[in-house]
Amino acid sequence: MPKNKKRNAPHRGGSSGSGGSGAAAATAATAGGQHRNIQPFSDEDASIETMSHCSGYSDPSSFAEDGPEVLDEEGTQEDLEYKLKGLIDLTLDKSAKTRQAALEGIKNTLASKMLYEFILERRMTLTDSVERCLKKGKNEEQRAAAVLASVLCIQLGPGIESEEILKTLGPVLKKIICDGTASIQARQTCATCFGVCSFIATDDITELYSTLDCLESIFTKSYLKDKDTNGICSTACTVLHISALLSWTLLLTICPISEVKKRLEMHFHKLPSLLSCDDVNMRIAAGESLALLFELAREMENDFFYEDIESLTQMLRALATDGNKHRAKVDKRKQRSVFRDVLRAVEERDFPTETVKFGPERMYIDTWVKKHTYDTFKEILGSGMQYHLQTNEFLRNVFELGPPVMLDASMLKTMKISRFERHLYNSAAFKARTKARSKCRDKRADVGEFF
């Protein structure tokens, strides 16, 4: 994956706005005859007095619930940035719930809108806030902070700025992942986000290998130590092991060939033991990881041969046709669908192509590597994935989509209807539905009277 390591130049247009506010503050200080010390995190933000009169800041959860789409439709770019500045300040609040809501509000906005220059100007402030919440927060707050860290790296893309974020937050994320006293949910989220941040920002190959070792130390605990034992590796930590395995697999896709061969030799014969896990999500994660490893191995060696191919295909075929009554129907249906594809990948080197549509474009997912990468980023960005595929140069580079497509105003208008138009459409549809049902009720009444 190509990376641009050039330092991003500061935005010239944004400096004038901040300069204006700085000049105003300086004038006010001079007029009073005193110079005030400005805190490093609020040099461009509203004053404390202004915040005390702003009801939006007093309840950050309202912004997190409404989502950035409301601002996008009803407000302006300035309103959005003003709200975000307030949320950034609220990440320093004494209340854990307020800090968590502020983190989630920032994350939701950045997941659905590109604000590169805004983040670049406040990168250090945001990094400090995330670090503080990771260190002092618990469970949900740590999860919100970890996700925000990965979204920041997605917005900035590969470069010195993302590297500095990873350099600051990486050790903290790693510590939480390996901390047995931390909540499983927080460790799970940190494992996923640590993998995403490393995928984007890791420049030192030694650090990449160290991250792989850290993730291996987590998911290898699910390996069955005795192949003849019917014991199951399902524990309370299974969700953490799944996230560690998937992050490890993601990072393996950007490793040098020599390192990939080394890791394959270590894990190719142990990963199939995870297919016997009680947890359906672990079985699926292990199956998809195996399919991806086979794909990588065959790219390196076209005539790659796996010694235990017969026993492996037999196990995959059993999972693809699993009919155990003690398993939930939904789990069995999901498992059979996935393992049919995994079996085809192992036996026939085939992948069922998927199509992802976003705006006027579409992307074809035709390899396990691309599918795993797409699923990982979609887990972080959620519904904002489509928007980022259209506008985020880093993601477009990852999926080889080329530069962003420029759309004129007329095309954008045809692609997006207003809230009022949606209301009119829904009202018309409701009236038509009601009228049709009324006719059906009248017919049933007539038939009843006839009989």
Instruction: Take residue 193 and report the two structure tokens written for it.
Output: 């986000």
At residue 347, the pLDDT reads 93
Question: Buried b / exposed e across 36-66, counting CB within 10 Å, b at 16+?
Answer: eeeeebbebbbeeeebeeeeebeebeebbee
Nearest in space to 43 (alpha carbons), one of 8, 14, 12, 72 = 14
In one letter, which amino acid is 212?
A: L
At residue 23, the pLDDT reads 44
Residue found by looking up tokens 């005539």 in the block: 303
Nearest in space to 109 (alpha carbons), one of 146, 159, 74, 70 = 70
Contacts of the segment 266-274: beta carbons below 8 A, 24+ positions apart: 267/216, 267/293, 268/293, 268/297, 268/306, 269/307, 269/308, 270/220, 270/223, 272/308, 272/311, 272/312, 272/315, 273/223, 273/224, 273/227, 273/233, 274/222, 274/223, 274/224, 274/233, 274/245
Burial of 377 (0-12, 13-18, 19+ CB in 10 A): buried
Instruction: Take residue 182 and report the two structure tokens written for it.
Output: 């931390």
Nearest in space to 64 (alpha carbons), one of 144, 156, 178, 158 = 144
Give the integer Cα–Cα distance in Å for 97 and 412: 38
Mean pLDDT by 10 residues, the chain (451 residues): 46 42 43 44 41 43 45 65 95 96 96 94 96 95 98 96 96 96 96 98 94 96 61 71 97 95 93 92 96 95 90 93 76 90 93 91 95 97 95 95 72 54 67 66 49 40
Torsion angle in degrees (nearest 10) through CA of 175, 176, 182, 184: -130
Cα 377 to its chain centre, rounded Å, is 4
Give the integer Cα–Cα distance in Å for 134 and 146: 7
Angle at 444 between CA 441 and CA 447, to 5 degrees: 150
Give the integer Cα–Cα distance in Å for 104 and 144: 6
- Is residue 103 within 8 A of residue 133, CB to CB? The reply is yes
Query: How many residues are present in the chain?
Result: 451
365, β-bridge pairs = 354
Q: How many CA atoms lie within 13 A of 107 on its CB side?
A: 28
Per-residue CA distances from 117 to 12, 104, 113, 121, 159 (Å): 10, 20, 12, 6, 14
Q: How many CA atoms lie within 13 A of 353 on its CB side?
A: 5
pTM (two decimals)? 0.75
At residue 359, the pLDDT reads 87
Structural domain boundaries of the chain? 223-233+256-350, 354-402
Coil, strand or helix at 385: helix
Burial of 24 (0-12, 13-18, 19+ CB in 10 A): exposed
At residue 208, the pLDDT reads 96
At residue 59, the pLDDT reads 52
- Is residue 200 within 8 A of residue 397, CB to CB? The reply is no
